[in-house]
Structures are given as structure tokens and as C-alpha cells.
């Protein structure tokens, strides 16, 4: 059994240093790894990234993250990534990583993802260049997620987790105004997950959404935005094949 | 027919648009996103003649800033707020996914 701890949307700033660390210090007792589902900062500044890095530095469980839209706001996501990497956080964007937990190989494929909406109510790759690029950006992100999951499968992972910031399904957005669903996620992410296969999909972004959902292909989805789970993190126990 | 300038509140005076509660709520959203908080997770909407402001923010200091901004932007309006601070406790159980 693998115990996956996850949280997103912790939105740290200078005033929040130390708020999460007491809970993170309990991780070795209850989880094998920690996933951070993006929006770790408020504006994506280096100062805020250093607060996040300090909060997770030296934790005795592996920490794997994707960035969120807030982490891009200052338009230097590569610097945010570098600061987190310096604190031993594995930051994924269109790629995967494998964590060994007591002989079990846990593969995590990650991407920030993007918007576009859900089947029948989604943006199309048509018209103005800006509109086409909007959808293509999401498509590239979904393709990166699919290829990363497929590669983790080829590498013989016992468990595979898809980690995104934007939501792959509408289920976990329940509670948000339906009018803004197209800005909260895209079915292209779910299609990628269902095509490649995964045991769990974890995302954030939708603060007023709900925790539980499922892709059309039956993969369980969890919205771990901190305002949704109302804890420092949640833990999901995944069973490996015997 | 009155000149358009009267409707638009010309000469730098606040016109009907500036008094429209709907636009004031929109401007509150803009300020919360643009200023120090970068806050996109607070919802403000009209309900029965009042503005209801809800959401969860990362810290007590953020909550104070949100409430101060709401008071400034929506001065003179009936406002109900229910802005929570994110909870930072460890979970007391795990979810089993067989």
C-alpha cells in the first residue's frame, strides 16, 4: 500500500512562513510522499518561492510538485522551479518521476495543465490566432501528461499518479459557478489520463469545488485545493497489485 | 434629448456607471487580484440587495486585507462577509482507495 499525501493552492507569502511546517513534520508518520498541486505562491515571485522552499526543505518524504497559474504570474516560472528544486522538490512539467517506497515504484506524471472546458462546453481550436493558441497550449500540456504517464508505464511503475493544477474533470468543480468551468480545467487532461492509464488523478485550482470526482474512463480524481480539503494535506492510500 | 455627456458623467464626475453596484463588485474582484494578495478565490455576489463576500484565504493577515479592501470598495453598501482562513492541521485519517 502506498500513502500519497497531497495539497494544492497553499498560496504562500511572507506572512505564511511556518504555518504548514508543523503539519508537514507529521508526514513520515502518515505518508510515503507529498504531492503539491500548484499555486504554491500568490504571485510567483522569488521571495514567495523561497517561503515555499523553506516550508518543505529537509522533509523526510519525497516532495513532487507542479506549478499553478499563480506561480506563473511574475513570469519567471523557471526561477520558481529552480528555488523549489534547490529545496529538493521535484518539479514536473510534461514529465514524470519515479519514487521508490519500500520496494514499490510510484510514478508521478505532472503538468500544470490549462483551461478550455469540458465536453460540449469547451473552447475550440478555431478563429483568431490567440484563441487557437489558447487551446493548443492546453493540448500540448495534455500531450505531455499522456506521454509522461505512458513512459512511467513502460518503466514498470506499480502505481501511477497524474498530478495537475487545472482540473481534468467537471465533477470536482461542483460548488464553483458553472459559467467559469472553462477557466478551471479541460477534458483534454482527462482524455490523456484515460488514454495512458493512471491509478489516481490529483489537482487543485478550484477553491470552491469538491474533493471527489472521476474521469470518464474510471480514474479517481481528487481536488486537493487547501480550501477544499480544509487541512494541511490529505492522504490517499493506494493498493498495489498482489 | 439630454446630451450624452450627462449620462456618462463627463468632466471627471462619477456617472451612473460608477454607481452601478454590479461594476463596483467587478472592480472589487479586480483589486483583490491585482493588489498585494493576488487573490482570485474570493467570491463577491449580489444577493437580496446586499453583497455577499465568501472564500478561504491563506492567512489571518490576508483575511484582514480582504476585509479592508471590501470595506473600501463597497463603502455605503450592505455587505455580508464570510471569509475563512485556511486550516493547517494534519488530517486525522486517510482515504482508502482499494
pLDDT digit string, tens, across residues A6-51: 999 999 999 999 999 999 999 999 999 999 999 999 999 999 999 9
Q: Are A66 and A97 in contact (CB under 8 A)?
A: no
- Is residue A22 less than 8 Å (CB to CB) from chain B? yes
- Assign residue B22 the CATH number of its domain: 3.30.1340.30
Is residue B21 one of the residues assigned to a domain? yes
Size of interface A-B (CB pairs under 8 A): 89
**Tally of domains within chain B:** 1
Averaged pLDDT for residues B5-30: 68
Sheet with A220-223, strands from edge to edge, namely: A95-101, A104-111, A159-164, A200-203, A220-223, A212-214
Q: In the beta sheet, which residues pair with residue A221?
A: A201, A213
Q: Please tell me if residue B87 touches chain A, with a CB cutoff of 8 Å.
A: yes
Q: What are residue A109's DSSP bridge partners? A: A96, A162
**How far, in whole angstroms, is CA B54 from its chain's centroid?**
8
Nearest to A236 among B84, B86, B97 (CB): B97
Residue B3 forms part of a structural domain = no
User: If DSSP codes are grouped into helix, strand and coil, which group holds residue A87?
Assistant: coil
The whole-number pLDDT of residue A242 equals 55
Nearest to B94 among A30, A73, A229 (CB): A30
Report if pTM > 0.90: yes
d(CA A9, CA A15): 15
Report DSSP state, residue B87: P
What is this model's ipTM?
A: 0.92
* Residue spans of chain A under pLDDT 70: 242
Give the residue numbers spanning the domain of B36.
16-85
Q: How confident is the model over B36-66, as pLDDT tens digits?
A: 889 999 999 999 989 999 999 999 999 999 9
Closest CA in chain A for residue B94 = A235
Pick the CATH number of A2-238 from 3.30.565.10, 3.60.21.10, 3.40.309.10, 3.40.50.620: 3.60.21.10
Is B82 within 8 Å of chain A by CB?
Answer: no
**Where are the domains positioned within chain A?**
2-238
Hey, which bits of A120-223 come out as E strands?
121-122, 159-164, 200-203, 212-214, 220-223
Q: What is the C-alpha to C-alpha distance for residues A169 and A191, in angstroms, rounded to an integer?
A: 10
Rounded-to-5 percentages of helix, strand, coil across chain A: 35, 30, 35
Amino acid at each position: 500500500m502506498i500513502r500519497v499525501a497531497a495539497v494544492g493552492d497553499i498560496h504562500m507569502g511572507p506572512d505564511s512562513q511556518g504555518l504548514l511546517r508543523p503539519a508537514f513534520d507529521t508526514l513520515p508518520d502518515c505518508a510515503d510522499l507529498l504531492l503539491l498541486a500548484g499555486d504554491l505562491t500568490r504571485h510567483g515571485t522569488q521571495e514567495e518561492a523561497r517561503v515555499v522552499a523553506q516550508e518543505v526543505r529537509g522533509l523526510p518524504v519525497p516532495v513532487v510538485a507542479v506549478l499553478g497559474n499563480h506561480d506563473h504570474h511574475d513570469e519567471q516560472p523557471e526561477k520558481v522551479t529552480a528555488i523549489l528544486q534547490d529545496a529538493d522538490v521535484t518539479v514536473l512539467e510534461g514529465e514524470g518521476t519515479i519514487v521508490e517506497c519500500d520496494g514499490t515504484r510510484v510514478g508521478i506524471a505532472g503538468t500544470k495543465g490549462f483551461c478550455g472546458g469540458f465536453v460540449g462546453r469547451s473552447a475550440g481550436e478555431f478563429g483568431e490566432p490567440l484563441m487557437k493558441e489558447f487551446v493548443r497550449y492546453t493540448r500540448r500540456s495534455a500531450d505531455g501528461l499522456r506521454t509522461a504517464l505512458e513512459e512511467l508505464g513502460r518503466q514498470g511503475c506499480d502505481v501511477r499518479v497524474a498530478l495537475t493544477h487545472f482540473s481534468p474533470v467537471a465533477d470536482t468543480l461542483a460548488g464553483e459557478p458553472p459559467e467559469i468551468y472553462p477557466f478551471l480545467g479541460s477534458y483534454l487532461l482527462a482524455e490523456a489520463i484515460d488514454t495512458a492509464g493512471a491509478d489516481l488523478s490529483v489537482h487543485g485550482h478550484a477553491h470552491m469545488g469538491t474533493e471527489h470526482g472521476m474521469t470518464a474512463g474510471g480514474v479517481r480524481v481528487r481536488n486537493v485545493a487547501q480550501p477544499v480539503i480544509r487541512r494541511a494535506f490529505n492522504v490517499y492510500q493506494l493498493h498495489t497489485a498482489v | 434629448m439630454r446630451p450624452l455627456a450627462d449620462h456618462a458623467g463627463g468632466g471627471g464626475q462619477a456617472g451612473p456607471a460608477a454607481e452601478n453596484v454590479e461594476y463596483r463588485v467587478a472592480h472589487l474582484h479586480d483589486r483583490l487580484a491585482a493588489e498585494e494578495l493576488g487573490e482570485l478565490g474570493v467570491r463577491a455576489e449580489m444577493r437580496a440587495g446586499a453583497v455577499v463576500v465568501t472564500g478561504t484565504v491563506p492567512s489571518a493577515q490576508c483575511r484582514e486585507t480582504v476585509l479592508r479592501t471590501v470595506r473600501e470598495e463597497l463603502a455605503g453598501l450592505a455587505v455580508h462577509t464570510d471569509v475563512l482562513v485556511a486550516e493547517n492541521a494534519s488530517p486525522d485519517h486517510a482515504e482508502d482507495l482499494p
